Amino acid sequence: MVRYRLTIAYDGTDFCGWQKQEPPDPDALVEPGGERPRLILRTVQHVVEQAVREIVREPVLLQGASRADAGVHVLGQVACFTCSGDGDPDARHGGWPLDRGTERLRKALNGRLPDDVLVTLVEPVALEFDPIADCVSKGYSYTIHDAIERCLWDRRYVQQIWQPLDHEAMHDAARVLVGEHDFASFAAAGHGRQTTVRTIHACDVSRPEPNRVRLDVSGNGFLYNMVRIIAG
């Protein structure tokens, strides 16, 4: 067996988040009464997993490092799958042995993925590699357009605020969050985590260009909606 790590970028506009949300059984594909089929939500995990399965011809499961919400755009989602490799009896019929090359696998995946998803890197990793447990840091960026004239061309990627913001005051406030703290007050209700203690490695607010304020946050993990609440 061989395990591969994918680095994935995607535009989240038309996705219902990362996590696959398929019905648990075939009967669930039809709504009660059998009147019409139940919709399967379009998620990044489902789309990429289907592409991987087409290539390796095995029922692989794709595991991601982070469950981004609907509408979130991602530059570096890490995900892994395991398939037949060198020396496996099934490698003649499926799988992806290492000698076929990771760049060839990356191109094959991108050839099957829609325009709003791109695999930027494929790497072989140890079979015990876990993208969640072995993750050491995650980062989020929020861009705010603070102007009376609304944004047009990149409106999908920025938040519109109609009044000017004091980015220096915001930066000073953001620095207080750096370190290990109990972020219970920054978590949405029903987050379901056993502990609300998290470590923020960096939290910076800058103005990279006129009418643009950017918040960059990195840490060892985040609670549900934690970064959105920080940005607010």
Which residue numbers are catalytic?
A: 69
Four-point Cα dihedral 48, 51, 52, 53, nearest 10: 120
User: What letter does residue 119 receive in the DSSP assignment?
Assistant: E
Distance from C-alpha of 207 to C-alpha of 167, rounded to nearest angstrom? 7
99 residue type, one letter: D
What's CA 27's distance to the chain center, in Å? Answer: 30
Instruction: Output helix, strand, coil percentages for the chain, rounded to the nearest 5.
Output: 25, 30, 45
Structure tokens at 19: 């996590």
CA–CA distance, 122 with 132 (Å, rounded to integer): 17
Closest CA to 157 of 18, 17, 44, 11: 11
